[in-house]
A and B are shown apart, each in its own frame.
Chain A
Amino acid sequence: MREYPALRDVAIAAIALVVILAIPLLHHSPAFEDFVIRLSAMALFATSLNLLVGNTGMVSFGHGMFYGLGAYAFALMMQMTGLSLPVAAVLAVLITTIAALGVGAICVRLGTDYFAFITLAMQMLLYSIIISWQTFTGGDQGLRGGIPRREIFGFELASQLHLYQFCAIVAVLGLLALRHVSASPFGQTLRMIRDNENRASFTGVVLWRARLWAFTIAGAFAGLGGVLAALFVSGAYPELADWPNSGQAIFAVMLGGINSFLGPVLGAMILLALNDVVTRFTEYQGLVLGIVILAFALGLRRGVLDFLKFAWPGRSR
């Protein structure tokens, strides 16, 4: 298997998928299925962000704009046209990709700090457009009225179990694709840019072009996460494109670890679980979440998977 890393990844993904799909058959729990559906959207969102943050060293504060855009594009197409779900989903991801290409073309040549802020400003611009364009986007009320969940490939998405299976399959396939990007020579080039952009430039890499590709790919997968989120909430809300949502993705990435591919997935899991558990016990979730984050930041000083790698070196992946 060592000679065929791509094959190994596919095998791991297949096993993971089989396990996830088998769980509800053995033990049916609506709360768990609900969690996995939300996790699938968040995991795609956070992992795509890590392609920028961990892989390329581009700290984007505005990644939520593509998540929100994917959700809105998908929900609007489902509500206003008779397109079938897969077509609408693909088109939504395509729109997000083009938007990411456009935004990236403006942003990727800037230095680190300014890149962070201009991406944030771009996101807030989208957010204000969503809020002020009431006739089209529903303004601060969001797109209500639900998404017609038409049947696709035998999946009846109105049923939670089928939505669970659909989201799990999309998320695992999406993550596999991202893994492929990050392990490819292109992914290696991005890591080279992160570690030493001058040397990368000397070897003939066109920095802005590689960064623009990374930004576009990351935007596309965040859009895919947004599509899943829109399916889950059955609509689209401005909060999806608001900046605390980008913050959530950054914290998922940081909590899980930026140097491990599965770090952001683990981080998303921790963050969602924390939110769920804390909401049950206290209304002051910010207080508890803040203390936990502080403990992580000051105690481990890195994400969980990065910490494990640091504590037990040798088993590097």
Chain B
Amino acid sequence: MDLDALGACLTIPACVVNQTTSGLIVGMLLFLVAAGLTLIFGVLKIVNFAHGTFYMLGGYVAYTALGATNSYTVAVLSGTLAMAVFGVLFERVLISRVYGSNVLMQLLICYAVVLIFDDLVKIVWGPEFHAMGMPAAFQVPPLFIAGGVVPPFYAVLIGIAALIAIALGVGLSMTRFGKTVRAAAINPQMVSALGVNTTLLFAIVFAIGGGLAGLAGALAAPVRSLSPGMGFSILIESFIVTVIGGMGSIAGALVSALLIGMVRGFGTIGFPKFTDGLIYIVMIAILLLRPQGLFGRRS
């Protein structure tokens, strides 16, 4: 524990800016993964334990696409689209067989997928860590804000995630499709009886969730290294985010992802060895005070 260092950091603008940016990066990537997770849970009542695998595969696909085309835009788009397709396949081939059955059965299938794809990644890309490196377009001098250093890529990443957050929020609350999705979350049988193709709807929800995780993986690839186990750790954290925010709530996912990001950003200074523990304590405290999560409805 090093509270003096934390106090000292809070008085220096440069340090605050640096830690806030790194916290925002963590938070925004977490939000992208957790948004898909919470959307899938909200509509299909499926706890998708394989969501970290989507994130990992998105990163690897982007890595290969960047190597092939040398364009980071193409890399991000291919990572996103590949995972959207993968999400649909995953839902149709595996998850649709266990709708309505035991939660543990769904868990078992997801875990099997995690195991299989962790090894497939090892076979295809090798077990070692890969570094994508900063794309050429972003190899420019960093921005200086109040003495803090902000690489331009960070700003772009935060901007993209913020845009996605707005698009999801507006899309779900204002558009016809969003209203259908929200209705299906409350009563899928009734929505189906009203003539909406819920099978298609569920597949689309999985495509959005998978695509968001793939996007997060592709955006994370330049700032984090790629490794076969990378899906595991982000999975746990995005679960914490969905649980703190309230399962099924996009706004909750955003707020709690930023909260976790900030705890990580500033926790590394105050509690360098206990940052993970700090996050679990935050989760336990919030669940004890508000068992349904910050934005969750009491069931």
| A positions within 8 Å CB-CB of B | 53, 59, 106, 109-114, 117-118, 120-122, 124-125, 127-129, 131-132, 243, 247, 250-251, 254, 258, 284-287, 289-291, 293-294, 296-298, 301
Contact = CB atoms under 8 A, between A and B. Distances in A.
B288 A125 contact: no
A211 to B, nearest CB: 15
Category for how many chain B residues contact A: 35 or more
Contact of B123 (A111, A124, A247, A284): A284
A293 B111 CA distance: 9
Contact of A258 (B104, B113, B122): B104
Which 7 A-B residue pairs are closest in the complex by CB-CB distance? A290-B115, A128-B277, A290-B116, A286-B115, A287-B119, A293-B112, A132-B273
Contacts of A106: 284, 288
A285 to B, nearest CB: 8
B105 A301 contact: yes
Interface string B90-107: 000010011001011101
A107 B104 CA distance: 19
A128 B104 CA distance: 26
A118 to B, nearest CB: 5
Given A243-B236, A284-B122, A121 B284 contact: yes
Max chain B CB contacts within 10 Å: which of A129, A293, A297?
A297
B291 A53 contact: no
Contacts of A298: 94, 97-98, 109
Contact of B284 (A118, A132, A251): A118
B287 A118 contact: yes
Nearest to B281: A125
7 contacts: A112-B103, A124-B276, A132-B274, A289-B115, A293-B109, A298-B98, A301-B98
Contacts of B277: 125, 128-129, 132
A120 B47 CA distance: 14
B8 interface: no
Given A122-B284, A128-B274, A53 B116 contact: no
B113 A121 contact: no
A287 B122 CA distance: 10
Contact of A118 (B94, B118, B122, B283): B283
Interface in B274-298: 274, 276-277, 280-281, 283-284, 287-288, 291-292
A141 to B, nearest CB: 14
Contacts of B274: 128, 132
Given A284-B119, A286-B118, A287-B119, A53 B284 contact: no
